[in-house]
Chains A and B, each alone.
Chain A
């Protein structure tokens, strides 16, 4: 069966520090991968999606970036965090040709 992992589970970082969040999927090949952010008490905002290795589409201009170095690995990064980057970051995957997204457990980021 397929599983999706995210780490770390929680992170507290100072403003201006770098960020790296990782998402990995097991049990499937060539999935579409997604990064979402959920601000406190708010809905979900799609940040990036990827249909293959090295292929990244950005939905919202910001100081975050994403990379997909391997088929089942999706990384969210920042060189310098802002206070407004605080939130709950969710990774999701879709099987190739499918349409149902399955979400990871999320990473809670607090920027102080």
Chain B
């Protein structure tokens, strides 16, 4: 079945540092890939997505490229802010699972001033 593996946190960074959160997946068919962000006490917000190989999703300075050859969708941001402190979830949908989402375990990011 489908699965998503992402790096465990917490990841602690200083403001303006470079952030990378690794995400790899296993899926049948051709899934779409997503990054969601969860701020403390809130629901999940869609951060970005990519629907086919080599697509790059981007939003709020975050980027992720759909790499079919390495089955990866790593999230990056060049200069983080304190307001980026949150839990980040990688997810996939489609393929054999229809539009049900399969989530990774989440990565907590803490940005210190």
A residues adjacent to B (C-beta < 8 A): 6, 32, 34, 42-44, 46, 49, 90, 92, 94, 98-106, 108
Contacts and interface: CB of A to CB of B under 8 A. Distances in A.
B93 interface: yes
Nearest to A101: B101
Interface string B43-56: 11110010100000
A81 to B, nearest CB: 22
A106 B32 CA distance: 24
A32 B99 contact: yes
Contact of B89 (A44, A94, A102): A44
B99 A90 contact: no
B99 A98 contact: yes
Contact of B42 (A44, A49, A106): A106
B13 to A, nearest CB: 20
B99 A42 contact: no
Interface of B: 32, 34, 36, 41-46, 49, 51, 89, 93-94, 99-101, 103-106
A104 B43 contact: yes
A50 to B, nearest CB: 12
Contacts of A32: 99
Contacts of A42: 105-106
A102 B32 contact: no
Given A43-B89, A46-B100, A90-B43, 6 more contacts: A42-B105, A42-B106, A44-B103, A46-B101, A99-B94, A104-B43
B44 A49 contact: no
Contacts of B36: 103
A15 to B, nearest CB: 24
A39 B94 CA distance: 25
A94 B43 contact: no
A99 B93 contact: yes
B43 A100 contact: no
A88 B15 CA distance: 29
Contacts of A43: 89, 103-106
B43 A105 contact: yes
